[in-house]
Structure formats: structure tokens, C-alpha cells
Amino acid sequence: MLFSDIVTPELFASAVRLATPIALAAVGASICERSGVVNIAMEGLMLIAAFSGTAVALLTGSTWLGVIGAVLASLIFASLHAWASVNLRSDQVISGTAINILALGITGYLMETIFGRPGTTESVQTIPPVFDFPSGGEGFLGEAWHWINTVVFSYTPIVYFGMFAAVFLTWALYRTRWGLRLRSLGEHPRAADTMGVNVSAGRWFAILVSGFMSGLAGANLTLEQVGSFTEGMTNGRGFIALAAMIFGRWVPGGGYLASLLFGFAEALQLKLQIFGDLIIVPRQFFLALPYLLTVIVLAGVVGRATAPAAIGKPYKSKA
């Protein structure tokens, strides 16, 4: 086994693809938590979006209508979190946990109701990559083009949208009036209210942004990667997104880059399984690698990251 057998352009491209559902949820959660609302519901939002996207695609025959269905379903569940957190001023962690449990139960129920069986749906046609450039042939230039074509131009539309969203929202957070007001909601909502900022409307919008991004994460998982829905298929990605958001210090771009780390760990463990006969390490270690990384991040980095001052604190306007 050679180093070049493992470190290939396909490894890095696979890392970006596998990181995308986590990155989309982490970018959205950064916006949500910057407004002062804790969002641990990404696991449930991604799961209901993944199911809805597949169901709509199967029932209509249109993958893009499936994407719209995934986003709408996630927005509906995100609205429940917003209503409980902002309007009812309930505990945001409990609200997020309830949505995660509700999504797990309702997707299982709808599998039985719509498809008549538990487990996995029929396959849907996945969305193809945006670009389809020819190979560069042999030689050094051909190999260089193979790296560029694979690492840069081999992705589907939602993957590119995730990259754009991370850059745009990071810019907007620190360079626009909206971003300044959003950060004020998470740091000192009373002062923001005094200055005329509608705290409830700002937090509702931030939660819906998180719902929109989690919906795209679910759509990416089923309609661009797997091509079908399986019960519980998010498999903890929403919680890994939470760790990535914290590792990225509540900045959309930071959350995206942190997600790449988890995506690379996932891609590496898949790659190393191919060489399982040559590596004297139990296969289970490779499977646990992304989750071990999550534990290490949460244990070693969280204590040094500073969260928004008013995060998790319900706000009641005196007006």
C-alpha cells in the first residue's frame, strides 16, 4: 500500500461531498445561535427533510420538486422550534430535543403509511454534477487537470450552494447592518430592543434560515448522494454539525471549514476500509473515527470558545 494509493483527488472530493450535509446544517445553526437561540434540532430537521424530499420526488417524478419539498418540511418543523422558543419562551434545548424525537417517530410512521413498509424507500434519480468536463489525458498536465477537475468541478448544485452560503453569510454577518443587528440579538437583546430592533422577528428569521439550510442538508443526503431514504439515515450528522458550529466559533465560514474536517475523517475511514487487510487496526476503529473526532472537539475546544452572551435566554419585550 502506497501513500499515493490513499491520498488521491477522489479522497478530497469525497470529503467535500460527505461534509456537505454537516456543513449546511452548521452554517444555518451559526446564524440561528448568533441570534441567541440554541438549535439542537438539526438532526430532526435533516431527517424530516430527507424523508420529505424522497417522498415528493417519488410521488411527482421530479427530483427538484423533492428538493422544494425537503426545504418546506424542514421550515415547518423549524417554525415549531421558533414558536416554542420565541413566542412561548420555552426551554430551547427541550424544544430542539422534542423536534428530534418527533422527526424520528413521524418519519417511521409515514414510511408505513405512504410506502407500506419500514426501512428503505425505492430509489430516486439523483441530481447529477453541475459540470461534466472530459479527462485531460496522460502526462503531468493530464494528471494536474484530473486533480483540478475532481477536487473543484465534480460536485452537485447543493454542494456549490453550501460553499457560496458559507462565504456570503460570513460576509453578511460582519459587513452588513443585518449582521450587526443579528449579533446584537445574541449578545444583548435588551439593548437591541431599545434601539428599535424587533427581537422576536429577528430570532424567527434566524431560526428559519437554519431550517432552510437543514432542509437542503436533508435533500443533499437523499437526492444528491444516496438516492433513497432509510429510517434514521442522518445517523448523528445533526449533532456533528452542532460540534462543527462550535468548533467554527459560531461563524458560518468557520462551521463550514470545521465540517470539512469531519467529512475528511469520514472519507478517510471509507478509504482505509479498502486496505483493511493491510492495516493492523480493527475495522470498528475506522467506523468510529468521525464520532471520536466529535468527542475530541467537544472535550478540547468547547471550553475555549466563547458563545454569544444571551444564547439560550428567552426574551420578553417590555413594549
Tens digits of per-residue pLDDT, 61-81?
Answer: 999 999 999 999 999 999 999
**Mean pLDDT score, 153-158:** 96
Q: What is the mean pLDDT of the chain?
A: 90
List the one residue out of 258, 273, 220, 270 whose CA is nearest residue 10.
270
For residue 266, name the pLDDT band (cuts at 50, 70, 90): confident
Query: How far apart, in whole angstroms, are the C-alpha atoms of residue 258 and residue 246?
Result: 9
Amino acid in the structure at residue 139: G
- pLDDT at position 253: 96
CB within 8 A of 39, min separation 6: which ones?
A: 28, 29, 32, 33, 81, 92, 96, 207, 210
CA 58 to chain centroid, in Å, comes to 23
* Number of Cβ within a 10 Å radius of residue 281: 9
For 43-53, how does the pLDDT look when each residue is reduced to its tens digit (9 = 90+)?
999 999 999 99
Q: Give me the pLDDT at residue 169, please.
A: 97
Task: Look at the alpha carbons of 293, 294, 297, 299 in this order and tell me if their dihedral is positive or negative.
Answer: negative
Task: Give me the phi and psi of 167, to 5 degrees please.
Answer: -70, -45
**What per-residue confidence (pLDDT) applies to 319?**
62
Q: Give 288 or 60, the one with higher predicted confidence.
A: 60
Quote the CA–CA distance of 39 and 41 in Å, as a whole number.
5
Phi-psi map region of 167: left, alpha, beta (phi>0 left; psi -120 to 50 alpha): alpha
Closest CA to 289 of 279, 304, 277, 303: 279
Single pTM value for the model: 0.93
DSSP label at 129? Answer: P
Q: Name beta bridge partners: 120.
A: 230
CA distance 203 to 182: 8
